[in-house]
Structure 1
Amino acid sequence: MSDSILIQVDNGVATITLNRPQVFNSFNREMAFAMQDALDKCASNDEVRAVMIVGEGKAFCAGQDIQEITDPELNPGFKAILDDHYNPIVLKIRNLEKPVVAAVNGVAAGAGANIALCCDVVIATESAAFIQAFSKIGLIPDSAGTFFLPRLIGFGKASAAMMLADKITAPEADQMGMIYKAVPDADFLATAQKTAQKLAALPTVALANTKKALNQSYYNTVEEQLTLESKLQIESASTEDYAEGVASFMEKRKPVFNGK
């Protein structure tokens, strides 16, 4: 795997580190494919029960590496950048049957912001910021930003954020419901890691089914959603973790889930 993406598994949590700090972890073609590979490894590794994505250095991710698209010899073209680089990353995160925490340690701009916002839980350090930077260079938001952001903060605020390219601080993002929480810089990494560890210790199949239900809730009628909930609940109720959850409740003890 490219050293632009690092992956480490510890106590059920796979930490994926965006590792191009010299360019604020902006994506080039190599890094995009390495990120996809890392997500595939998380999907196939039964030891991984939760994923945390974080940036190395001062930024989470500044989006697309502009140097790549302004170099005629390196530029793959926007169709490849979207179809081959970013869109698969977003879909792999949303289809991963394990919870994904975005630990936003600094600025998240452009595609970097939208990759963070498509994750299941977003925790940011108070000094971080989110910027829909696309309009500054004559582009539209991609990486499913136009899908997720209006659903997170409403049409009006999303439209303004995208057109004006305002810098939204992490505390502001927390207040408007864009992210799960903003935490003081000194507590940030420990809080993000603790959250990922908590998710890794929960019933993995139930969390995956919750994610599936949330994904479909964007499209389904209430009747269709009720049908899906029934299907997924029956599936969840057949797991070892459900049996453990009930047993621990009856025995008044803390449950020990194995993710099965």
Structure 2
Amino acid sequence: MREYEKLKTGWAADGVLSVVISEPARRNAVDRRGHRELAEIWRDVDRDDDVRAVVIRGEGEAFSAGGDLSMIEEMARDHATRMRVFGEARDIVYNLVNCAKPVVSAIQGPAVGAGLAVALLADVSVAGRTARIIDGHTRLGVAAGDHAAIIWPLLCGMAKAKYHLLLCEPLTGEQAEAIGLVSLCADDDRVHEVALDVAVRLAAGPAEAIRLTKYALNNWLRLAGPSFDASLAMEFLGFTGPDLEEGVQALRERRPPRFS
């Protein structure tokens, strides 16, 4: 496992790799470096024979507050940056889908944007009762690309997916479990414990059978690949549009956006 700057890695148990999104001063918001690392780590996990399962969480009491606003503003200004982040956003999804090792997410506090993509694409997701899950894209003024089109309709159905993605309506962990968006809900102070227990059980199981089962099930996501690719392109088209500036400013000022 290579050295990462924004992700802390270590052994949580025998065969279980712990990955921690580490930017606690900013509620684990994903900046330029962190976004790239979230795309790359799944290839390293896949190649490491010592890793039999992964548990991913955020440092402190947040999973991830989403994309760093300065990175988003740079994407709006610079085409080269936009294309680089576009490739990374694609790789976060496909590299996690194609990673043979089972991944468990421990969702506590806010889970938004690129962080939410990892949280929901994990093979097993464990959310705290008061976790705050929100896609966030349309509030920013761009289409819900990222992971939304590939996974939300499969997890919670099209009606619920449209409601929460079009309106950016947040869900608690309890609500997310009730509609099938996450695998399990746990008391806030037990989220990491429950997620680790699941990861330990996966690591102790028949590795080949588990990995092949994951591969077979993830063919449903691969079938949705064209929808995901289109949604991601539509999202990044929005980074050149007029609504993004107001969306970013509203987030900075902690107020509802006023789109024209």
Q: Which shifted more, 16-25 or 105-114?
A: 105-114
Q: How big is the shift at 1:6?
A: 0.8
1:78 alignment partner in structure 2 = 82
CA distance in 2, matches of 1:116, 1:69: 21
Instruction: Work out whether 1:109 is the aligned partner of 2:112.
Output: yes
Instruction: For residues 123-164 of structure 1, give each alpha carbon's deviation from its aligned partner in whole angstroms, at most 9, with x where no partner exists.
Output: 011121210111111111222211100111111110110111
Q: Secondary structure at the match of 1:60?
A: coil
| Gapped regions of structure 2 (runs ≥ 5) | 224-260
CA distance in 1, matches of 2:66, 2:163: 20
Letter in 2 for 1:215: N
1:100 alignment partner in structure 2 = 103
Using the aligned pairs only, state the percent identity: 29
Matches within 5 A, 1:106-145: 106-145=109-148
1:40 alignment partner in structure 2 = 43
Q: How big is the shift at 1:218?
A: 5.0
Does the Cα contact within 8 Å between 1:50 and 1:199 map onto a contact in 2?
A: yes
CA distance in 1, matches of 2:41, 2:141: 31
Q: Which shifted more, 171-180 or 51-60?
A: 51-60
1:25 alignment partner in structure 2 = 28
2:194 to 184, 191, 205: 191
Q: Secondary structure at the match of 1:61?
A: coil
1:7 alignment partner in structure 2 = 9
| Gapped regions of structure 1 (runs ≥ 5) | 221-260
Q: Could you state the TM-score of these two structures normalised by the residue count of structure 2?
A: 0.78
Q: How big is the shift at 1:219?
A: 6.4
1:178 alignment partner in structure 2 = 181
Q: Secondary structure at the match of 2:30?
A: coil
CA distance in 2, matches of 1:73, 1:171: 35
Does the Cα contact within 8 Å between 2:150 and 2:221 map onto a contact in 1?
A: no
Letter in 2 for 1:77: T
| Distance of aligned partners of 1:137 and 1:73 in 2 relative to their CA distance in 1, 3 Å threshold | closer
Q: Secondary structure at the match of 1:97?
A: coil
Q: Secondary structure at the match of 1:168?
A: coil
Moved over 4 A (4+): 71-76
Letter in 1 for 2:84: A
Instruction: Work out whether 1:163 is the aligned partner of 2:166.
Output: yes
1:255 alignment partner in structure 2 = none
Letter in 2 for 1:141: A
Does the Cα contact within 8 Å between 1:115 and 1:143 map onto a contact in 2?
A: no
Q: Secondary structure at the match of 1:3?
A: coil
| Distance of aligned partners of 1:153 and 1:2 in 2 relative to their CA distance in 1, 3 Å threshold | same
1:53 alignment partner in structure 2 = 56
Q: Secondary structure at the match of 1:59?
A: coil
Q: How big is the shift at 1:214?
A: 0.7
| Distance of aligned partners of 1:219 and 1:39 in 2 relative to their CA distance in 1, 3 Å threshold | closer
Q: Secondary structure at the match of 1:122?
A: strand
Does the Cα contact within 8 Å between 2:35 and 2:114 map onto a contact in 1?
A: no
1:248 alignment partner in structure 2 = none
Letter in 2 for 1:6: K
- Greater relative contact order, per chain length (Cα 8 Å cut-off, separation 6+): 2
Letter in 1 for 2:139: K
Q: Could you state the TM-score of these two structures normalised by the residue count of structure 1?
A: 0.78
CA distance in 2, matches of 1:133, 1:92: 22
Q: How big is the shift at 1:73?
A: 11
CA distance in 2, matches of 1:147, 1:157: 14
1:243 alignment partner in structure 2 = none
What RMSD in Å do the two structures reach over aligned CA positions? 2.0
